[in-house]
Structure 1
Amino acid sequence: MSSVRSIEVILEKMMDMVGSSKVEIFEIGEESRHEYQTLKKELSQIQEKVVQLIEQSEKTELHSRFARNRLAEVSKHFASYSDEEVREAYEQANDYQVKLALLHQEEKQLRDRRDHIERRLMKLGETMERADHLINQINVVINYLTGDLQQVSDIIADAEEMQQFGLKIIQAQEEERKKISREIHDGPAQTMANVMLRSELVEKVLDQDGVEKARVEIHDLRRMVKNSLSEVRRIIYDLRPMTLDDLGLVPTLTKYLRNAEEHTGVSITFHRLGKDQRLPSEMEVAIFRFIQEAVQNACKHAEATEIVVKMEMKKDIVNAVIKDDGKGFDPAVKKEGSFGLVGMKERINMLDGRLSIDSKPGKGTLIMVQVPVKPPANNRVAEV
Structure 2
Amino acid sequence: MAVKISEKALDHVIDEMIEVVENSKDEIFNISEEARKEHEHLVFELKETKEKVLRHIENGDQLEEKVRFSRQRLAEVSKYFERYSEADIREVYENTHLMQTNLAMLRQEEKVLRDKRDELERRLITLSQTINRAEGLAGKISVILTYLQDDFRQVNEMIENAKEKQEFGLKIIEAQEDERRKISREIHDGPAQMLANILLRSELMERTVKSGSVDQAIAEIRSVREMVRSSLYEVRRIIYDLRPMALDDLGLVPTIKKYVDNISDYNKITIDFTVFGEERRLNQKYEIAFFRLMQESIQNAIKHSAASLIQVKLEIRRDSLTMLIKDNGKGFDLSVKRDKSFGLIGMRERVEMLEGQLNIQSAIGKGTIITIKVPYSTP
Question: With structure 2 as the length reference, what TM-score do the two structures score?
Answer: 0.49
Query: Relative contact order, CA 8 A, sep 6+: which one is greater?
Result: 2
